Structure 1
Amino acid sequence: MKQRIITAIIALIVVIPFLIYGRWPFVLFGFLLATIGLYELIAMRKLSQFAIPGIFAVLLLWTILARFDGDVVPYISMSKLEGAGLFILLLLAYTVFSKNKFTFEDAGFLAVSAFYVGMGFYYLIEARLYGLDYLLFIFFIIWATDSGAYFVGRSLGKRKLWPVISPNKTIEGAIGGIVIALIVAVVFQLVHPFDYSIISIIFIALLISVAGQVGDLVESAFKRHYGVKDSGKLLPGHGGILDRLDSMIFVLPFLHFIHFIH
């Protein structure tokens, strides 16, 4: 517990200045966190992080994270979609040059991993640039869901939610997390109202809470499949970047899909 608290304090000291200032430092910080998150997934599959496929995967990730709509490469007419497609084709081509030591499954894993991490962190960056209050609202709802699920699950939990993936989570805890999240959302709207009705805010908070719990289970499924306890060791007592931000990067794309954050 002491290690977790110390790590949390240090992490907050590092993150808060980027979060408050925003703009290009936060964009670069987002690129860094996303790259670490991708490397965590690559390490789970026991692929070489600095071999050619790993480099292609990082370049694919950075292409997805790029915020501009123009050409990816100067003087070459290539959109983001075309740039991403190029790196996927290079990953597939490498299966031939490696004489299938690097397999089609490996290429697919790297492509999906880069897209999963890249899409989540792209929208994280966009959310901060759109407004700190929106990002704080999302943080509060996810935190309320996690805390509510933990405490309600410990005190009232009896029925397992998904024991094969996460044996400690309960149905009662999941419902409790949603209820606490909705309460926090209403309080947040009363204190700092968004340009939405209270019904819309409740619906958005419900989406964040449910999607956040699904995102947490997705990350748990990865770790269970690859036989690891944590996604990484960067944060002693907490695990890796994906262990801390799994719900966030899963939630944010949905909020953009419904145009809560434009």
Structure 2
Amino acid sequence: MKQRIITGVLAAALFLPIVIIGGNLFTLLVMLLAVIGIFELLRMRKISFFSSPGLLSIILTMIVVIPDHWLSVFTFNDFTRFDWFLLGLLLLLSLTVITKNRFSFDEVSFVLLTVLYVGFGFFYLNETRLLSNGLQLLFFILFLIWATDSGAYFIGRSFGKRKLWPKISPNKTIEGAVGGIMCAVIVGLVFQLFLPIYDYQSIIIIAVVTAVFGQVGDLVQSAFKRHYGVKDSGKILPGHGGILDRFDSLIFVLPILHLLQLL
């Protein structure tokens, strides 16, 4: 627990000032986090980070994550983000032939899925910060996720009896999940009192969506780890695990909120 607290304080001391500063520094941080996230997933699949598939994974992730105003600097002949991604896909498929199926079609599928999962999650993290009220929104969503996690943990421990999804995450309960949603709504309403963002109805909707899909994002990461037989996605944060262990809810929630046009 002591190690967990120390790591959390140090990570917050590094992360929060960059979130507040925003701009290119925050974009660079997001891109670094995305690369680390890809590294963690590739390692689960036992694909070398420094192999041809690994390097292509990084490039494809950058194509997805990089903001539009940066991407325009690297384009020529009117290449779009989709064009670059398609080129990367074709190169990945070509590797199955070059390696004589040592790098297989299944691994191509894995790379593409992880690139889209991690890439779009961190892309929308950066896009949220770029909004006119992005700092306020980002802290709002972070508070909702923290409230959901804390509420689910403490209410689940105190009142949890029925398992939510034991084959994926044996400690989570239905009572804890509902408690997490309730805590997110309460924290959202309190946040609105001090830093108004939307009307109260919108706040409740955003809080519920964030709490529900935040827990789904956490379960998705648990499913990944259980499938590949690992306890944590990485070891970069002692006591907490990897980057994806800490950002799994956030990078799942933000694309949903943007798709539903709630931000």
Q: 2:184 aligns with which of 181, 185, 188?
A: 181
1:13 alignment partner in structure 2: 13
**Is the CA contact (8 Å cut-off) linking 2:96 and 2:102 kept in structure 1?**
yes
**Is the CA contact (8 Å cut-off) linking 1:72 and 1:78 kept in structure 2?**
no
**1:12 & 1:150 partners in 2: Cα distance?**
21
Sequence identity percentage: 56
1:132 aligns with 2:143: no
Instruction: Provide, for residues 90-139 of structure 1, a one-character-per-residue CA deviation record: whole Å limited to 9, x for no partner.
Output: 11110110000000010110111011000000000111121200000000
1:171 aligns with 2:171: no
**Is the CA contact (8 Å cut-off) linking 1:65 and 1:118 kept in structure 2?**
yes
1:159 alignment partner in structure 2: 162
User: The residue matched to 1:250 in structure 2 has which SS?
Assistant: helix
Amino acid at match of 1:168: N
1:208 alignment partner in structure 2: 210
Q: What 5-or-longer segments of structure 1 have no aligned partner? A: none
1:24/1:215 CA distance change after superposition, 3 Å: same
Instruction: Provide, for residues 186-220 of structure 1, a one-character-per-residue CA deviation record: whole Å limited to 9, x for no partner.
Output: 111111111x2211110111000000000000000
**1:67 & 1:260 partners in 2: Cα distance?**
20
Amino acid at match of 2:240: H
2:47 alignment partner in structure 1: 47
Shift of 1:72: 6.9
Amino acid at match of 2:224: F
1:97 alignment partner in structure 2: 98
**RMSD between superposed Cα atoms in Å:** 1.1
**2:53 & 2:169 partners in 1: Cα distance?**
31
Shift of 1:77: 2.4
**Is the CA contact (8 Å cut-off) linking 1:124 and 1:249 kept in structure 2?**
yes
Shift of 1:73: 3.9
Instruction: Provide, for residues 136-173 of structure 1, a one-character-per-residue CA deviation record: whole Å limited to 9, x for no partner.
Output: 00000000000000000000000000000000000000
Shift of 1:14: 1.0
How many matched pairs? 260
Q: What 5-or-longer segments of structure 2 have no aligned partner? A: none
Shift of 1:68: 1.6
Amino acid at match of 1:18: I
User: The residue matched to 2:170 in structure 1 has which SS?
Assistant: strand
TM-score by length of 2: 0.96
Amino acid at match of 2:261: H
